[in-house]
Structure 1
Amino acid sequence: MPEVDNKKKRRPLKNLPPDRFQPKVLFIWFAIFVAAMALLYWTPGRMTSPATLKIQQVVELAEGGKIKEGVIRPDASGGRDWAVVTGELKESIPEAPGSSTMTKQFRAAGRLTDSNMERLQKAQVFAEQPATTLLTQIAAQVVPFLIIIGLLYFLFVRQLKQAGRGALSFGKSRAKLLTRDRDKVTFADVAGCDEAKEEVAEVVEFLKDPKKFTKMGGRIPKGILMVGPPGTGKTLLAKAVAGEAEVPFFSISGSDFVEMFVGVGASRVRDMFEQGRKNAPCLIFIDEIDAVGRQRGAGLGGGNDEREQTLNSLLVEMDGFDTTEGVIIIAATNRPDVLDSALLRPGRFDRQIYVDLPDLVGREQILRVHARKISLAENVELSIIARGTPGLSGAELANLLNEAALLAARRNKKKVEMIDVDDAREKVQFGRERRRLMDDEEKKLTAFHEAGHALVQGVLDDGYLPVHKVTIIPRGRSLGSTMFIPKKDVLTHAKQRMLNQIAMGLGGRIAEETVLGDISSGAAGDIKQVTKIARHMVCDWGMSPLGPIAYGDNHDTVFLGREITRNEKYSEETARRIDEEIRRIIDEQYQRATQIITERRDALEKIANALIEFETIEGKHVLEILQHGNIQTPVFRDPLTKQDTKPVEKRPPEKNAAADTLPGSSPAPTPA
């Protein structure tokens, strides 16, 4: 399959700021405090000191109409009939005798007789306030300061605690506790892994009734390691165990233990187990444990780095607790080959559960689980979808239904129909259609290339890997595709089927050379694929005269602490014979495919012309051309798909852009 390099620049994600001491916040609060004090004590009426008068002077000024307003407040602290009179004059007077500062404010304190009181009341400019005591005076002066000091203390202490929490929380576990109500998952939400559910079912029974096992002398496994390809539901199955047992579920990633500071990972491991003991019975789930559980002593320099200290602490903690405490460790990884052997021994991870890709029945069950939230039309048959999606994981099946729902919504439909699911399946498995600008010569080259693949496979197919669809519309990184969908799951690789796949992979290049008299770089992906299959046949599967001897296991990873130097496990003579056998297999299938295309030249041209006219034909149309000489059933054109595709603006061809003008070929038909 030709590949087009379409690299897109991605904006880097910005890290969130750490929780630390923020001096800007303190500066803002300090400015607010200063402003409040200024408003409280530096009001315009207090910019100058009030003039000190006698009670008799105040009485005379009041009778002369020179006082604007005033307040009479009895003051028991000065003695009997003692009062304090404050107010504002209509005209300014000196603050003190001989002073140049003028003020309208005055204050008088002294004995206020009944006669003077009557004279002041007649002026009708004074208001009376209740008498003040020593306690109220102290409260009026002290309480505002206490409130302000308390507010500042609260703000400073909070900032300091947040700063300390960021510095002292490195050793705390980052395990997240899932709530039982909102995040509850049960076995009904997990499908396609019945054997794995049976393995963990006894863990649920133990968490519900531990005495059932302990009275028989049995011991529940301390740790359960889930192994399997990505997307098969390892994390979902662990959550279902906690949901069925109705116990707390702590989830953490293996990368959360490793930090740049020495001893932080080990401290987090100890804190995680301590949290588990406090919340027992509970489950602790460690996802991607290979990030911290790799083999010790790995690397060229060796040494005891931070990751190894974390692993040592994990090993000790798993030995230091008993399952009678009700703490069970469940870990998940898709790289069990890199884990340390001490971590996998009985007593730590006692049981390994392999969560494989779902089979036909499992895929249908998974589709039914995810189809609950999607409005499906009556013509959608999940069994047909499951039969046409071999090798897909549970996550990929969920994504397929989601893509179908999005596609139906974009087409303004009320329900998801079968055509939407088929288009979504092709988008997920082979890539989305892209309308690239191709001239007639490139379109012809691509059409004959794809016709060569379809013709060879149509002749050699034994019903195991039929042609599903042939198109010259670019999908993904290819300019054309010949799609194959196996009728059943691929469990073993037969020799004759592998040879047929090699011949089919070479059919595109042979068709170019036979019809056009020239070859292009469009068969680069095909050549890599057929070479890979042939090498597996010789080196791994024993499908050659060299015999059932494995020659492929000769590359150890240096950074796993196995071998620093990579030594070949066979001689140069054997290497030469391996290369000869690989070349022999490919040359024989090249001649075989050449004979098929030469004998059926008319069918090749009819398939290519149909591709040029319709751009996409189905596998049944290829078989009709081979059997009847022409297409018997009408070719379906989907107008909805064309509406989703925006027209491409014409542009001049770029120079030296060979990758953009490669003809298409088929994707890898089956994993080899």
Structure 2
Amino acid sequence: MNVNILPLLFLVALCVGVWVMMDRRTAVAGASREAPVRHQVSFDQIGGQEHAKRELREALDFLRYRDRIKSLGIRPLKGILLTGPPGTGKTLMAKAAATYTDSVFLAASGSEFVEMYVGVGAQRVRELFRKARQQAKKENKDSAIIFIDEIDVVGGRRGQHSHQEYDQTLNQLLTEMDGMSTTQSPLVLVMAATNRADILDSALLRPGRFDRQIQVDLPDKEGRLHILRIQTAGKPLRRDVSLEHIARETFGFSGAQLEALVNEAAIAALRAGEQQINQEMFRDSVDKVLMGERTGRRPTDDELQRVAVHELGHAIVSELMRPGTVSHITIAPRGNALGFVRQIPEADRYLYTLEQLQEQVNVALGGCLAEEHHYGNRSTGAQNDFVQASSLARTIVVCGLSRIGIVDEEHLPEAVLDTEVRFILAEQERITREILRPYREDIAEFAADIVRDESLDGSAFREWLTKVQTKKSVPSPTSSDVVSVPYVASTELTLQ
């Protein structure tokens, strides 16, 4: 037709190119399109992290009192890394830091910087820092805080990713934190959170980038009590509610789990049509947070009886070795468990002796041996107990507490380790069997009561145990220095 279509093709290609560029710019701007977070969180609203808050406030004072530190020639901090388990309040602490220093606060997640297009992540980093400085000037503030959650997504060691985008994004972050584009006014402080600090690039952790690393651990008993008081403020509690008792029962709970616990207790009150939250609602909520919601499983009567016998075995061994520790026995199916025994530690412990580890092995084996005493056989429900007991036995060996003495785990032959673990388990099985022998005739009778009521309070269980000991003249434990060690996972009886 004697028509030259090359200009038309060129125009189409130009339009496609412009469209792709606009799409990329839109994607880049997406990370910073939201307005800065209006932080209203103070350190007083964060419970259970007194050490971390004190260390963080000390680091933030370099930003808060800049004129004072300038006279001493102190370099301002560039970054603060918060490390610790999930749910311990790292994001809340970052928001409280912005309130404490009266800074602009911008938040982002590590995954927001990674795209399939090379260069997009680096551009997003530049845009985030630019916006932080721009917003600080707009609000007449001399500092801004950028919080990057899950920084391990983009801060991992360079060269380990097959995609070049990760390395380019990290390089840009390193440059922005301590490079030629760094400015003193307004000052930008980078705060980041991760529970995998071990995989971060060394260039990110050096002084001049993340100058401070603050560990945000799980709260201890006093910390849990503080969190519970904060979370229950303004909620209608019945007079019988003991927050200190709940704090003892929730060893190993994070701040997020404690918040969920209080929320679930309030939901239980709403479901029951009550105007106040009572202690039993908190007790059931602890079970729900630990094990999950009740399932629709309907075990047979024989299975329920076996579960009750199993859990009584755990409870008897635990109570005899660590008096006063059994808090609750239930055969209500939750999660993967058909029943479990919840215990109360007398104190939070971080070091364990050989005797304490052996006691935990005894508790783990108590369920299956109670079944063996009554039925003459065992069930598959003790699988998790065996895993827990084997793990504890390995801990005894690798910590140098076994009969073979101090060992190097890396160079310990697997055959030697397996032999010693088997010996420990066999010895503790023998001891546990002897502990349960005087109660073998009474367990089945009391298990029927648990099947009827579905659950049993720890005080009622201790009352029954005392009656059995009096009737049979079984000596009660007299050791006053027995340490309570939390033990939940080993008491699960799972469906196979």
TM-score when normalising by structure 1: 0.63
Tell me if 1:168 matches 2:7. Answer: no
1:332-373 CA-partner distances (Å, limit 9, x unpaired): 001111111111111110110001111122112111222224
- Provide the secondary structure at the position in 1 that maps to 2:233: helix
- Provide the secondary structure at the position in 1 that maps to 2:489: coil
1:316 Cα deviation (Å)? 1.9
Q: Aligned pair in 2 of structure 1 residues 419, 620: CA closer, same or farther (>3 Å)?
A: closer
Tell me if 1:347 matches 2:222. Answer: no
Q: How does 1:589-628 map to 2 (within 5 A)?
A: 589-628=428-467
2:155 pairs, out of 293, 314, 333, with 293
Aligned counterparts of 1:444 and 1:243: Cα–Cα separation in 2: 57
- Contact kept? 1:376, 1:415, Cα under 8 Å: yes
1:78-113 CA-partner distances (Å, limit 9, x unpaired): xxxxxxxxxxxxxxxxxxxxxxxxxxxxxxxxxxxx
Aligned counterparts of 2:451 and 2:275: Cα–Cα separation in 1: 34
Aligned counterparts of 2:397 and 2:264: Cα–Cα separation in 1: 40
Aligned to 1:15: none
- Contact kept? 1:457, 1:504, Cα under 8 Å: yes
1:434 Cα deviation (Å)? 4.0
Aligned counterparts of 1:631 and 1:174: Cα–Cα separation in 2: 70
Q: How does 1:507-522 map to 2 (within 5 A)?
A: 507-522=366-381
1:543 pairs, out of 379, 391, 401, with 401
Tell me if 1:570 matches 2:411. Answer: yes
Q: How does 1:134-173 map to 2 (within 5 A)?
A: 165-172=22-29
Tell me if 1:667 matches 2:486. Answer: no
Tell me if 1:284 matches 2:146. Answer: yes
- Contact kept? 2:370, 2:440, Cα under 8 Å: no
Aligned to 2:245: 384
Aligned counterparts of 2:368 and 2:224: Cα–Cα separation in 1: 36
Aligned to 1:503: 362
1:431-462 CA-partner distances (Å, limit 9, x unpaired): 33446323332222222212221222222225
- Contact kept? 1:221, 1:350, Cα under 8 Å: yes
- Contact kept? 2:62, 2:77, Cα under 8 Å: no
Aligned counterparts of 2:437 and 2:470: Cα–Cα separation in 1: 21
1:401 Cα deviation (Å)? 0.6
Q: How does 1:192-207 map to 2 (within 5 A)?
A: 192-207=48-63
- Contact kept? 2:354, 2:401, Cα under 8 Å: yes
Larger Rg: 1
- Provide the secondary structure at the position in 1 that maps to 2:418: helix
1:583 Cα deviation (Å)? 0.4
Tell me if 1:214 matches 2:45. Answer: no
Tell me if 1:191 matches 2:191. Answer: no
TM-score when normalising by structure 2: 0.85
List alignment gaps of at least 5 residues for structure 2.
Answer: 1-16, 137-141, 472-486
List alignment gaps of at least 5 residues for structure 1.
Answer: 1-159, 552-568, 633-664
1:257-276 CA-partner distances (Å, limit 9, x unpaired): 11100111111112222223
- Contact kept? 1:192, 1:358, Cα under 8 Å: yes
Aligned to 1:479: 338
> What RMSD over aligned residues (CA atoms) do the two structures have, in Å?
2.6
Q: How does 1:47-446 map to 2 (within 5 A)?
A: 165-172=22-29, 174-175=31-32, 176-180=34-38, 183-278=39-134, 279=136, 280-298=142-160, 305-320=164-179, 321=182, 325-434=186-295, 436-446=297-307
User: How many residues in Structure 1 have an aligned counterpart in Structure 2?
Assistant: 452
Aligned counterparts of 1:425 and 1:375: Cα–Cα separation in 2: 18
Aligned counterparts of 2:353 and 2:167: Cα–Cα separation in 1: 44
Aligned counterparts of 1:378 and 1:462: Cα–Cα separation in 2: 27
1:627-658 CA-partner distances (Å, limit 9, x unpaired): 222899xxxxxxxxxxxxxxxxxxxxxxxxxx
- Provide the secondary structure at the position in 2 that maps to 1:357: coil
1:515 Cα deviation (Å)? 1.5
- Contact kept? 1:204, 1:242, Cα under 8 Å: no
- Provide the secondary structure at the position in 1 that maps to 2:277: coil
- Provide the secondary structure at the position in 1 that maps to 2:27: coil
- Provide the secondary structure at the position in 2 that maps to 1:413: coil
1:573-616 CA-partner distances (Å, limit 9, x unpaired): x2211111100110001111111222332342343233233332
- Contact kept? 1:193, 1:355, Cα under 8 Å: yes
**Larger displacement relative to structure 2 (393-402 or 238-247):** 238-247
Aligned to 1:459: 320
1:173 Cα deviation (Å)? 6.8
Aligned counterparts of 2:374 and 2:246: Cα–Cα separation in 1: 37
1:231-254 CA-partner distances (Å, limit 9, x unpaired): 000000000111222221010111
Q: Aligned pair in 2 of structure 1 residues 179, 619: CA closer, same or farther (>3 Å)?
A: closer
- Provide the secondary structure at the position in 2 that maps to 1:474: coil
- Contact kept? 1:467, 1:484, Cα under 8 Å: yes
- Provide the secondary structure at the position in 2 that maps to 1:506: helix
Name whichever structure is richer in helix by fraction. 2
Amino acid corresponding to residue 668 of structure 1 in structure 2: S
Identical columns (%): 39
Aligned counterparts of 1:471 and 1:218: Cα–Cα separation in 2: 59
Amino acid corresponding to residue 168 of structure 1 in structure 2: R
Q: Aligned pair in 2 of structure 1 residues 340, 392: CA closer, same or farther (>3 Å)?
A: same
1:280-327 CA-partner distances (Å, limit 9, x unpaired): 51101111000000111226xxx6621011111211221122556411
- Contact kept? 1:282, 1:326, Cα under 8 Å: yes
- Provide the secondary structure at the position in 2 that maps to 1:386: helix
- Provide the secondary structure at the position in 2 that maps to 1:365: helix
Aligned to 1:490: 349
Amino acid corresponding to residue 404 of structure 2 in structure 1: L
Aligned to 2:480: none
